[in-house]
Structures are given as structure tokens and as C-alpha cells.
Homo-oligomer: A and B are copies of this chain.
């Protein structure tokens, strides 16, 4: 009878795993089917200095089993000499040693480190790499590796393109989605250790007891995976939720309200991570409403959290309807506050000075506040990058920022050590990196199968910024699709090429923020409305007229934005002749007929870039089709479908931008380039009708 059951199970297994099994993407990069799924292995696991029954260790061993690990494993928890690292940075360093037979010794000072070591070892296996003779020590580049979920309590996600929120607040506690644990597992597998559950445009309700009790549920599920929960708070919560007459951070009752709230939170979630705050930005409340500074607000919250080891991540993304260049405002507002923040406050700074554009120079705040802890905020979700319709691999964009040299210090002055390593350690040990998540309740989590790579890459880069974009892409491809060499080579190159392609077909040569209003999908360089804030209109950013185009940010004749960068960057960017083409229209107004470094005139170069981008998008389609033999039908066709939209959109961008710019100068298209297939009028009258949420469908994209 037992034997019969075993046979049935095995047949089932065989049927379920044909060579190219149909896949829905729900397993992410954690797909490796167990070699012995039918019959659990009797594993040879030894634990030294650590309880085999520790929840984290139980996860580690389950992973080994499901990952088909068949060699002996020895876990060893070691005591480290007293670490200078303060909470919440835990000692996650680990080492892996395997002998010639693949027998492994995993060592760390924490169970969390041992779990990471386990995922690392299994990654070797899943990537088809040898698991013998490994001898490595790993420690994270950033202590805090944070996902920011812009999820609203009503289940929508601001800038979310993969369905609704994972967090089913209404269902809890009656129903606990299995996805909560799957999410924590996926995060842990790439080293993400912090999750801010709700939107930075936070509802005060988030801090209501009823919601905090549900937060506790998630925190309990995440805990054994080493993922701490954080919350975004609305600065006016004491007023809105607590019914106080004010939210002034100097008000005793307000201070007490936050202290009480912190106490309540930590009673439910003892290892709660802290708050992320968007204050006095885009109409949100903040300390400035009461004549206080960002320091006053952040420090008050930090003091409330301090007794429990919590931190405050305070966003620098603030800009007013002011006459100043929007790209300059954050520095103008924050630089003078340097050195005044508590040591459990960290300033969260978007990678660029405007807003998650396809290409921006790095944010000038980086390196300019040497006595303030800083962290970078990337946007994993593709608000300005074709939502979940475009294949866009973000690692190259992120590394461009992290690797950028700020020239703010004598040595090693790139953005990366500013927000991690050196600078942070000289301060209080708070090194952190955040990414706005692209995760929703879609079956494939991210809307586009390849968008999973950005979640993966964010985690991997946050752990080890030394990894190249190519290495990460290949790792992800091997685990997510197949380790076939030809496939991995071609697909990784395709991924790597998407960044420049998208810049080409959307906003080349330093153009920025010429998107359609509200939903930021598709081009609308013409968009403006009577009485609207100037800096909400693309006209503010491209400034086209009959003579030229571009935002003059020079000191000599423009806004002076170049002066926010240290020399020699300042000199290079200030000078029209030395400013590289990719940032040209970011820093300069350029005549339509002026020659660029490419040797082409500006108008010609614009045509060239848009045409190139369109052809690159078409190329992605061909290149993906060539990979059909390696990919299961379901995911192949899903990606194929999305690539059609991408090419379609590339044409849309090209036609819209070139036809619109042409209205200023009336120059003809250079002879070699394909002509528009749309009319400008048609494109200007085309509206998708999307809100902040959701991704346009094929139906909505009918041009």
C-alpha cells in the first residue's frame, strides 16, 4: 500500500515537471524543484551552538531539503567580539566552507546569517555552479536593506503595476494569506531585511490599534526570515488619529502621543524597525506647518523610538511651488540642517534630484551633509519606466548612481560609500538603502516576469554592491528560467541593453519629466493646464521654443543647479562644451541646430536617439523570440506580449516627442529616419484615463 502511494506520487511528480514546465511566475527565482520531492531526504545536518528548533534554523533546513541538498551540512553559531554596530544592524556576516565532496560548514554570529548562508549555498546549486571547494565570507554592504511598499490601506498601491496590495488588511486576522510568508522568504533569499508596509503618503489610520494588531501578524510571520517591519507615519497623526488640537512636534501632548504610540507598537512588535516619514512634501503635513524644521520633526519621532531601538527614515523629497529650480530645492532645504539630526535618524534621498527619471545625475544631497546619515531611495516599481509593460532591468541605473563620484571627499567619494560603508560607519553605523517595491498580488508578483529581476537585483545589490549588473542578471536568469549558457548569455545581454534603449526612446540627451500627467505612462511633453503649478508641467522641464530646448541649470545663465555639485563635476557640467550629451538638456539650453559630441545637430541627435530606441525595442522582440526554445510557453508568451507593448510605446514616444518638438523649429526629419505614423493632434488627444494605480492594458493603449 505504501509502495503504491509512492508510485502514484512519483508519477504525479513526473507529470508536473516536464522539460519546459508551464510556469506562472509565482515561484519567483525560487523554483528549483527538489530532486527528491517525492521522498523527503533524511538530511545530515549538524548544528553547533544553535538550537535546531530555532524558527530560523527550521526554515534553513526546510530550504535545504526543498532545494534538494544532499551533502552533509554543519551550522555553527559563533560569538563575535563585541560589535560596535548599534541596533537595528544585526551581525549578518557569514562564511561558507565546502570541501571537495561538497560537505559544508556554515558559520555566522546569528541565525539570520546562517539562513543567508543557506540561501547562498542553494543559489550556487540552483545556478548550476559547483558546490565543492567554496571558501567565502560574506557581509552586507548596507546594514538596512529596505523595501518601501507604497500600499494604501484600501488595497490599492500608488505606482503599483502588479495588482493590488499583498496585505489583505480586511481579511486579517481571520485569513492569513500564504503569500505573506512567501514574500518574507523571497526577501530573505536575497538579503532584504526590512519592509515598510505602507505608502509614504500615509493614512493616519495606519497607527490605529486595529491596524497595529494586524501589523503584528505580519511581523510575526516575517521575523524568522529576518525581515523587520517598519511603518510610514502621517505627521498629523496626533491630530487626525489622536484628536489632539495640533501635531506641533514641540507640543508636549504631541510628544507624549508619539511616545505612547511607540510603546503600544513595541508591545505588539518588540523588534519593530521604525518610521519612514514623508513630511511637508506634496501637500503632506509636517513640522514646517508649525514653524518647526525637519530636524525638529525627525528628532521628536526618533526620541519616541529610541528606547526600543527604532529609527526614523526621513525623506528629503520635498519641493514647494517656489521659484527655485525644483531639482535644487532639497539641498537648499536640508544642507543647513547637517549635523543636527539624532543618531537614529537617517535621511532618505531619492537617487536623482527630480523624480526617478530614466536618467538623472545623482542627487546633489549625497556627500553634501557629512554629519548626517544618508540613505538612497530607488524606485523598483517603474513609475516612469513603462510600468510593468516595459522590460527594464534597473541594476545599471542604480549602479550608475551608486558609482557616481560626488567629489565631496578626498578619496572614495562616490555615492555608495556616502550612504553605506565609510561615511556611515564614521557616524552611527546606520547604513541603509531603500527601494520602492514593485510587488503586488498578481500571480507573478511584479506584473512583468522580468520585473522580478528588479526585486532580486535590489536585494542582491543591497547585500553586495560589488556585484555587477551582469552577474546579478545571470544569477537571476539561471534560477528563474534555466542555466543554459546560450540562454543566459543572450537574455542577460538583452536585460542589460534595456536601460539605454528606454532612455533613447523616452527621454534621451538629458530630457526629463515629459510624461503624461497623473499616471506618468506615455509621453505628454505638451501637457500644461491653466493655473497649475509650473513644476508639474513638462514645459517646465524641457522649455522648448523656436530656438532650442533644455533646462539651463548653469550658474552663468541659468538656475545655478550645477553649483550644487563639487568640482570638477561643476566645471564639467557648467561648461556646455564639456557637458556630456547624456546630461546635456538637463543642464543646458541648446539650439536645435547646435552640434553635439556625436557630431550631429541636436535635432538630428534627438531623431537618432528616438529611432535607435525604437529599433532597440524591436530588437528585443526578435531577441526574445530567439529564446523561445529555452522558456516555458506561458512565460514566453507573456513576455512576448509585453514586448509588443514596449515596441508600440517606443513608437508612441518617438512620434509624440519628435512631432511636438518639431512644432517649435519646423526642421525636417533627417532623411534616414523613419517618419511618424501618428499625428501629433491625435497623440495630444489620446488619454489613457488611468489613476495613480494600475498599468494600462492593451485595450487602453489603442493608438
Contact = CB atoms under 8 A, between A and B. Distances in A.
A651 B644 CA distance: 12
A37 B621 CA distance: 60
Interface stretch (A234-242, A563-571, A582-590, A669-677): A669-677
Contact of A675 (B618, B669, B672, B678): B618
Q: Which secondary structure characterizes the binding site on chain A?
A: loop
As for how many copies of this chain the complex holds, the number is 2
B675 A644 contact: yes
A622 B677 contact: no
Given A668-B628, A698-B682, A621 B703 contact: no
A282 interface: no
A678 B649 CA distance: 11
Interface residues of A, number: 30
A679 B698 contact: yes
A626 interface: yes
Interface string A626-653: 1010000000000011011001100100
Interface in A660-703: 668-669, 671-679, 682, 686, 698-699, 702-703
A622 B668 contact: no
A696 to B, nearest CB: 13
Given A668-B625, A668-B628, A677 B651 contact: yes
Contact of A676 (B644, B675, B678, B699): B644
Contacts of A618: 674-675
Contact of A625 (B640, B669, B682): B669
A621 B677 CA distance: 9
A561 to B, nearest CB: 38
Contacts of A648: 677-678
Contacts of A682: 698-699, 702
B647 A675 contact: yes
Contacts of A676: 644
Interface string A598-640: 0000000000000000000010011001101000000000001
A675 B703 CA distance: 18
Given A628-B668, A703-B703, A622 B675 contact: yes
A130 to B, nearest CB: 34
A654 to B, nearest CB: 13
B671 A626 contact: yes
A680 to B, nearest CB: 10
A144 to B, nearest CB: 42
Contacts of A668: 625, 628
Nearest to A647: B677
A644 B677 CA distance: 4
A242 B686 CA distance: 54
A671 B628 CA distance: 12
Nearest to A681: B698
Given A626-B671, A628-B668, A682-B702, 20 more contacts: A618-B674, A621-B674, A621-B675, A622-B672, A622-B673, A622-B674, A625-B668, A625-B675, A643-B675, A644-B675, A644-B678, A644-B679, A647-B675, A647-B677, A648-B678, A679-B698, A682-B699, A686-B702, A702-B702, A702-B703
Scoring A648, A651, A677, A703 by chain B CB atoms within 10 A of each residue's CB, the highest score goes to A677
Contacts of A643: 675
A682 B671 CA distance: 33
Nearest to A651: B677
A254 to B, nearest CB: 54
A677 B698 CA distance: 11
Nearest to A645: B677
A230 to B, nearest CB: 41
A618 B668 CA distance: 16
Nearest to A626: B671
A677 B145 CA distance: 38
20 contacts: A618-B674, A618-B675, A621-B674, A622-B674, A622-B675, A625-B668, A625-B671, A626-B671, A640-B675, A643-B675, A644-B676, A644-B677, A644-B678, A644-B679, A647-B675, A647-B677, A679-B698, A682-B699, A686-B702, A703-B703
